Amino acid sequence: MTTAASAHRRAVLFMIAAALCWSSGGLLVRLLSFADAWEIVFWRSLFMAPFVAVTLAVMHGKRTSAAVRGVGWPGVLSAAFLAGQFFLFIASLTRTTVANTFVLMSVSPFLAALAARMFLGERVPARTWTAMAAALCGIVIMFSDSLDAGRLSGNLLAIGVSVLFALNVTVLRKVHAHVDMLPTVMLAGLMSIPLALPLALPLEAPARDLAILAVLGCVQLGTGCLLMVAASRHLTATELGLLALLEPILGPLWVWALLGDNPGRLALAGGAIVLAAVIANEAWAAWRGRSPAAELAPPAATPGP
C-alpha cells in the first residue's frame, strides 16, 4: 500500500468518525429538558472552544499560539463559514421541518463538487456523480413522509448550510496542504459564543443538562469538526460532502436504538441507499488502486508528505 493510499484510507475513517460524532446530536438534544435552540448553540460552543484549545495545546505544546496565528486569513474565513453553519442549521430547524433541513442539506456534495471545480480545478469522476445522485435520492426517500415545501425561509437557510459547507471545505482543501487548519474549529467556537449569548438569555440549563451539553460541545461538535478538518487534508471536497451524508442516516438510528423511536421503513430504505452509494464509491476507488484525492486533486492542492 502506498503512503498516499494509506493516508487516504485513514482520512476516510476520520470522516466516517466525524459523521458518527455529528449524528449523536439528535439523540443528545432529545435528552435535554429544555428546547431553546440558541441556548444549545451557546453552551455547545462554550464547551467546544476550550476542549479544542486543550487538544491543540497537547498537539503543539509551546507552538500552540503560533499554530493559531498560522492559519491566517484563510483560517479566519474557514472559521466564519463553520460558525455560520452552526447558526443557519439551528435557524433552519426553527423555521422548517427537520426533514426539509436534512434533505436540502444533502445537496452539499454537489455544491462542494462545483466549488472545488471552480476554485481548485478538482475533477469529479462519473462514479462519484452517480453516488451523489443516488445518495440524494436516498435522503429524499428517508424523509419523504414529512417533507413540506411551503416553508421558504427555513428551506433557504438549510441550503445556506450546504453553501457554507462547500465554501469551507474548499478553503480547507486550498490551504491545508501547507497549513495546520485545526485551530479554525476553536476560532469558530469563539466566534459563535458572543453571537449566540444575546439570543440565549436568560440561561436556564440545569446541571444535568450542562453535562449533556458538554458532550454535545466536546464530542458531537468539537471532535467531529476536528476529524473533518483533519480528513480534508487527504480527501477531495466532493468526498467530504458525500461522507458527511452519513450523519442524517445515522442520527435516526441512534434515537431508534437507544430511545425506541422507530424511524419507519422508508427511513431505513433511504438510509440503506445512501450507505450503499457511499460504500460503492469508496470501494470502487480502492479497487482501482488509487485514492480519489491523489487521482483528482491538482498539484497545487495535493497534500505534501
pLDDT at 303 over 70: no
Place of cell 503543539: 60
pLDDT tens, position by position, 176-194: 656 788 899 999 999 999 9
Which range scores top for mean pLDDT: 47-56, 125-134, 137-146? Answer: 47-56
pLDDT (tens digit, 9 = 90+) per residue, 10-55? 999 999 999 999 988 888 888 888 878 899 999 999 999 999 999 9
User: What local confidence, expressed as pLDDT, does residue 288 receive?
Assistant: 63
Is pLDDT above 60 for 294? no
Confidence at residue 2, expressed as pLDDT on a 0 to 100 scale: 61
Least confident window among 103-117, 178-192, 197-211 = 103-117
pLDDT at 187: 95
Scanning the chain, the segments in alpha helix (DSSP H) are: 3-23, 25-30, 37-60, 64-70, 72-93, 98-105, 108-119, 126-142, 152-175, 183-200, 207-215, 224-231, 237-244, 246-259, 265-288, 292-296
| The pLDDT of residue 301 is above 90 | no
* Region 60-75 average pLDDT: 90
d(Cα 131, Cα 151) in Å, to the nearest integer? Answer: 28
pLDDT at 13: 93
Backbone angles phi, psi at 298, to 5 degrees: -70, 160
pLDDT tens, position by position, 231-275: 988 888 888 888 888 888 888 888 888 877 777 788 778 888 888
The model's pTM:
0.82
pLDDT band at 287 (very low <50, low <70, confident <90, very high): low
Displacement of CA 169 from its chain's centroid (Å): 10
- pLDDT (average), residues 92-117: 82
Half-sphere exposure for 237 (CA within 13 Å, toward CB):
35
Look at 305 and 50; give whichever has higher pLDDT: 50
Sign of CA dihedral 188, 239, 11, 270: positive
Q: Which has the minimum average pLDDT: 72-81, 115-124, 222-231?
A: 115-124
List the domain boundaries for the chain: 3-294
C-alpha cell at 209: 443538562
